Homo-oligomer: A and B are copies of this chain.
């Protein structure tokens, strides 16, 4: 578990990331915003990588929680995918820093530990969707003449693209509407009518 201060460090880090980007996440900025000195940070985390790792862990567990919540109800697979779509987007809306983290993979390139953790998170997300797609196909709800692998790619890729557009400051962007329209498009394409 995290101490109060550790949690504060993570929260503040996410705040910084969402406002000025992951580049702005320096120990100096972090300590300034919290209101303590730079070395004080090191009383709570060994080094900066530990902080980034904790951020990714937070990211991972909040995603897991959402999956658990949505996947257990006994909706149809397609409905579950829709819930995950909306759930993810809601999470991004509540915590825009998550978006920055998602697209910051390049920055973690020189740190194998971080890169591995990101790959792990992406893999797990991908597998959950893939399993749902396969289930939907088995139940005759989703077109079965198409490899689940590529359908999964399309589903995740388009969500990422939408988030990217949002992040890039596309004005006239009604979040809820865009998400549901995109999902409806996908649904219309892959559903067995």
Which residues from chain A sit less than 8 Å from chain B, CB to CB? 20-24, 100, 103-107, 109-110, 119, 122, 143, 145-147, 150-151, 153-154, 156-162, 165, 168, 181-182, 185-186, 188-190
Contacts and interface: CB of A to CB of B under 8 A. Distances in A.
B109 A23 contact: yes
Nearest to A168: B119
A182 B106 contact: no
B21 A106 contact: yes
The A interface, classified by DSSP as helix, strand, loop or mixed, is: helix
A189 B142 CA distance: 12
A150 B182 contact: yes
A123 to B, nearest CB: 9
Contacts of A154: 154, 157-158, 161, 182, 185-186, 189
A188 B106 CA distance: 33
Contacts of A110: 20-21, 23-24
A161 B168 contact: no
Contact of A21 (B104, B109, B168, B186): B109
B161 A153 contact: yes
Nearest to A184: B150
